[in-house]
Amino acid sequence: MIPASSNRPWSLAWRRFRRHRAALACLALLVLFVAFAVLAPWLSPHDALKPDWERIATPPDRLHPFGTDAIGRDLLTRTAIGLRMTLAVAGSAALLALLIGLPYGMLAGYFGGWLDALLMRTVDVLYALPFLFLAIVLVVVFGRRSELIFIAIGAYVWLDLARITRAETLSLREREFVLAARALGAGPLWILGRHILPQLAGTALAALAVIVPKIVLIESFLSYLGLGLQEPLVSLGGLVNEGAQDMGFVPWALIFPALFLIALLLIFHFLAEGLRDALDPRDGR
């Protein structure tokens, strides 16, 4: 049986998070955004890819609440699909960053010495490589494939998580519970998995909340440059790129995707603040 006290840190974290009203409101907004991204294309009577040649560049009205674009496609449906793809890229890249960065930083921080120097110098070298250049090379070699975008972004942002995890592990490895486990003969892998990893969960979660807006910006920037997702897939960055080209006579094609993109970045920003305050182990409230 798991002691009731084992859930106490997470209960305290949730209580602190609920006191952060902006973060709590943003969590509710994120749920609404996810529901909109999932349900709107399914419930909409309009096909996101099928042009309505009789309603080209139509301003927002009852039939098309977000209007139509320069070739008559419904912008509400396309914005929902763009939001869905942006969230999918952010979630997939964040998961990949977690799977690489968390164990990488734990190994570097726990063992230290030459292994730490080797692993972190590798991180420094990868940081020095321009991401845009790598993205262009990947697109040229492998083509514009959606899974490639997930991998490329995730394989870049894990560097931040590795540094954060390594710094926290350096502190944890000198704590009393780790020294006691080591004195009792526990091996490094057992200590990392049983004692250090649970302590790092909050830090990793808060770090991911900070990294996700960076992922969204990177993906949007690539899509804006035409290096991101391609039709029939489209992200918010791709819609902003399309809207910017037609801004002179279809301004709503830029306004709505841009508003959703800005709102998404603000949501993750305040969520990161709330998680940081709630999961800060130095906060005794």
pTM: 0.81
Q: Could you report the per-residue pLDDT of 99-112, keeping only the tens digit for each?
A: 999 999 999 988 88
> Can you give the pLDDT at residue 6?
47
For the chain, the structural domain boundaries read: 9-44+63-279
- 68 bridge partner residues: 74
Pairwise CA distance, residues 93 & 155, whole Å: 8
Residue 3's pLDDT band (boundaries 50, 70, 90)? very low
CATH code reported for the domain at 9-44+63-279: 1.10.3720.10
CA distance 83 to 77: 10
Structural contact between residues 23 and 205, judged by C-beta atoms closer than 8 angstroms? no
What are the pLDDT digits (tens) for 120-129? Answer: 999 888 888 7
Q: Is the pLDDT of residue 79 over 80?
A: yes
**Cα distances (Å, whole numbers) of residue 161 to 84, 205, 208, 221:** 24, 10, 8, 21
What pLDDT digit, counting tens, does each position of 33-44 carry? 999 999 888 888
Average pLDDT over residues 178-189: 83
Q: How far apart are the first and last CA of the chain?
A: 28
- In angstroms, the CA 230 to CA 197 distance is 38
* Cβ-based neighbours of 119, under 8 Å, separated by 6 or more: 104, 107, 108, 162, 166
pLDDT tier at 4 (50, 70, 90 boundaries)?
A: very low
